[in-house]
């Protein structure tokens, strides 16, 4: 039985690859709280997500040796605008995911950057200073990783750090410390 997912005809449990399902890429706390329907309406977006999962995220999961959590995958234009995403963000096309791990995220970023078999377009270690630090620390971290469905992948690697005072720093990959 196929479930009519958010009125699109896509089953939320559609297998994109052995360890990733469609719903992982469309769920969004921000969309839910703001009443935004983060719907995939085009088949090529699902095809792009399949490529991202099979060519990039599955090898990343193997390299990490643990499950990978997708925090942000596909973003409809309204959701992308709501979070201040780039106008031509690869999230809009199903070509990017922001991921986290239980532990070892910075080390994983270095391992991906050095892995010859992971064809990524961009690998960005992003960190944002928290206004109320939690037991895990003052900074919230995630990896943005993308894969171009068509055309060459650039292999760009960098770190973006956003402090509470609004200062934003960009540089090469963060030193390997977690």
Coil/strand/helix, residue 5: strand
Residue segments in the chain with a per-residue pLDDT below the cut of 50: 1-4, 178
Contact 121, 154 (CB under 8 A): yes
Residue 56 confidence (pLDDT): 98
Amino acid 133: pLDDT:
65
According to the model, what pLDDT value does residue 164 have? 78
Question: HSE (CB half, 13 Å, CA atoms) of 55?
Answer: 18
Extents of the domains making up the chain:
15-171
Q: Report the distance separating Cα 22 and Cα 13, nearest Å.
A: 6
The answer to whether 20 and 109 are in contact (CB under 8 A) is no
For residue 136, the model assigns a pLDDT of 62
The tens digit of pLDDT for each residue in 139-166 reads 788 999 999 999 999 999 998 888 878 7
Give domain 15-171's CATH number out of 3.30.390.30, 3.40.630.30, 3.30.1380.10, 2.40.170.20.
3.30.1380.10
């Amino acid at each position: 039985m196929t479930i009519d997912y958010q009125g699109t005809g896509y089953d939320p449990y559609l297998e994109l690859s052995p360890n990733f399902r469609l719903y992982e890429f469309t769920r969004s706390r921000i969309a839910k709280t703001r009443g935004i329907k983060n719907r995939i309406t085009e088949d090529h977006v699902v095809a792009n997500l399949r490529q991202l999962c099979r060519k990039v995220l599955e090898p990343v999961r193997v390299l990490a040796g643990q499950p990978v959590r997708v925090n942000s995958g596909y973003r409809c234009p309204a959701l992308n605008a709501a979070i201040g995403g780039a106008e031509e963000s690869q999230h809009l096309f199903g070509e990017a995911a922001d991921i986290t791990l239980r532990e070892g995220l910075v080390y994983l970023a270095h391992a991906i950057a050095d892995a010859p078999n992971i064809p990524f377009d961009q690998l960005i270690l992003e960190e944002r200073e928290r206004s109320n630090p939690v037991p895990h620390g003052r900074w919230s971290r995630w990896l943005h990783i993308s894969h171009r469905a068509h055309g060459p992948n650039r292999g760009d690697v960098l770190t973006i750090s956003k402090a509470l005072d609004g200062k934003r720093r960009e540089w090469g990959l963060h030193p390997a410390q977690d």
